[in-house]
Structure formats: structure tokens, C-alpha cells
């Protein structure tokens, strides 16, 4: 004897139609539309979308540009015509240079630029692209050579307090 499958809704008043995956992205509506448009015209993004929707074949059957996503294939989704790897937006080819400039505009060095980028976005080779742009930057080269200024340790707790007023977070995807 088999149990019948339950077909009733457990919570009939609540329907979940879509996941708001983009709610965490610091992105303006205009920039969001730009990402959608660039994703729609990017051949690689469209092949990735089709591969994700149709199912992943064997790695050897994939085009070279899609093989780059093979290791993370289970994390890739398409929502509202944008491609995501987990919660990170996969940046279309034409917008990568602009994103690199936004990531690097504070000249905070390789580690901070990488940390800033991996919060919200990704593309194959992003870390090496960030490293290249920072290493070629004259401003970053000068900033990295400044010695660390040490100060005398305070004699008692709270006798010396400080705040870093210049280290402010900026929205990565805000209109420029």
C-alpha cells in the first residue's frame, strides 16, 4: 500500500513567483537595463544562457568560451535575462572595462580592489584583469611604496582614538 501524494498548498495565501536575486546589487535602474541589454547582445552570455536552460553536455562538447564556466555550472542561473553565478552578476564582455575602472577608481591596491569586486560581480579571469590594471597604475605604484606610519602604543585603554574618514564605500554600479 502506498501513501497518496499531498497536492494541497501548505500555505495557501502565499505564492512565491520569483526570487529577487538583484535586491542586493548596488545598481541603478538605468544601469540594470544596460546590463540586460548588453547580456542580450553578448553572444557568449546567450550561449551560456542556452546551455544553462538546455542542460550541460559533456565538457568536451562545449565551445571554449563556455568551458570557462564548467567548474561553476551548478551555480549559474538566468534571472530576468541576466546571468548570475550564485548571487554575483556575470558581467558581459562589453561592460568589463567599465567595471574594472569602477573597481579601481579608489586606487586601494590589488587586494582591496579584488575584495570589492567579488562581492557583486564575476567573469572568467576577473582576478587577473584586476591585478593587471592595478599593477599598471602609476598612482597605485606610488601609494604602495609609502611606508606604514607606526605610532606609540597608548598607556591606557581609550586614551587614543582614531577614525578613517577617507575609507568610504562607493556604489559600484551607480551611474557615472
Instruction: Name the grid cell of 148.
Output: 606604514
The answer to whether 45 and 83 have CB atoms below 8 angstroms apart is yes
Q: Which architecture, in CATH terms, is 26-144?
A: Orthogonal Bundle (1.10)
Confidence of residue 83 (pLDDT cuts 50, 70, 90): very high
Spans of all domains in the chain: 26-144
The pTM of the full predicted model, rounded to 2 decimals, is 0.69
Asked whether the predicted pLDDT for residue 9 surpasses 60, the reply is no
pLDDT of residue 150: 74
Confidence of residue 6 (pLDDT cuts 50, 70, 90): low
Instruction: Name the grid cell of 90.
Output: 556575470
Give the contacts of 56 (CB within 8 A, at least 6 positions apart): 62, 70, 73
Q: Is the dihedral of CA 33, 74, 55, 122 positive or negative?
A: positive
pLDDT of residue 8: 54
Asked whether the predicted pLDDT for residue 166 surpasses 70, the reply is no
Amino acid at each position: 500500500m502506498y501513501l497518496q501524494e499531498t497536492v494541497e498548498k501548505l500555505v495557501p495565501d502565499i505564492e512565491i513567483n520569483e526570487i529577487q536575486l538583484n535586491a542586493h546589487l548596488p545598481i541603478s535602474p538605468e544601469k540594470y537595463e544596460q546590463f540586460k541589454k548588453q547580456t542580450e547582445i553578448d553572444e557568449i552570455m546567450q550561449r551560456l544562457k542556452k546551455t544553462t536552460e538546455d542542460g550541460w553536455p559533456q565538457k568536451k562538447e562545449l565551445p571554449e568560451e563556455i568551458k570557462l564556466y564548467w567548474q561553476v555550472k551548478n551555480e549559474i542561473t538566468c534571472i530576468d535575462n541576466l546571468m548570475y553565478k550564485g548571487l554575483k552578476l556575470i558581467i558581459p564582455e562589453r561592460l568589463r572595462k567599465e567595471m574594472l575602472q569602477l573597481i579601481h577608481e579608489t586606487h586601494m591596491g590589488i587586494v582591496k580592489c579584488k575584495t570589492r569586486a567579488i562581492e557583486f560581480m564575476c567573469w572568467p579571469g576577473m582576478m587577473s584583469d584586476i591585478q593587471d590594471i592595478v599593477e599598471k597604475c602609476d598612482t597605485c605604484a606610488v601609494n604602495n611604496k609609502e611606508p606604514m606610519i607606526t605610532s606609540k602604543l597608548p598607556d591606557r585603554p581609550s586614551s587614543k582614538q582614531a577614525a578613517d574618514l577617507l575609507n568610504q564605500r562607493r556604489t559600484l554600479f551607480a551611474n557615472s
